[in-house]
Amino acid sequence: MCKPTIYRDKRMRALRPWADPDLALFHAINCGEFCVNGFRNRDLRVILYGPAEKSQQRTQAGKITRLLGILRAHGLIAKVPKTHRYQLTDKGRTSISALLAARHANAMKLLQAA
């Protein structure tokens, strides 16, 4: 995940789990409301950017498309056939949950748990 990968003959950048843009994306796709039906570009755009003007929607949708491509390249999400929806894979669910849990953990909590 933290190394670049090749997907469909294109190099895709590594994920930066501690950077704010990627962390916000992880929070967005890890929402429980997407467990059953999956999520669309439109759903993520509203969560990450909020309501936008018509002129900004196309630019934001393009950014989300590129981020979805990176997540697909790393095997964290998979496209639902014959739809515009994506779902987290098992690898994606465990990896993202672990990253988000590690982000909220601090040394004192870890020492008390041990």
Q: What is the CATH classification number for the domain harbouring 16? A: 1.10.10
Give how far the C-alpha of residue 37 lies from the chain's centroid of Cα atoms, to the nearest Å: 16
Which two structure tokens, joined as six digits, stand for 56?
């900004």
Q: Give the range of the structural domain holding residue 40, as residue numbers without chain letter.
A: 5-113
When pLDDT is averaged across residues 44-48 and rounded to a whole number, the result is 92
Cβ-contact 100, 24 below 8 angstroms: no
Does pTM top 0.75 for this prediction?
A: yes
| Res. 78: pLDDT tops 70 | yes
Cβ-contact 77, 88 below 8 angstroms: yes
When pLDDT is averaged across residues 86-101 and rounded to a whole number, the result is 91
Domain total of the chain: 1
Q: How many CB atoms lie within 10 A of CB 33?
A: 9
What's the mean pLDDT when you consider all of the chain?
A: 88
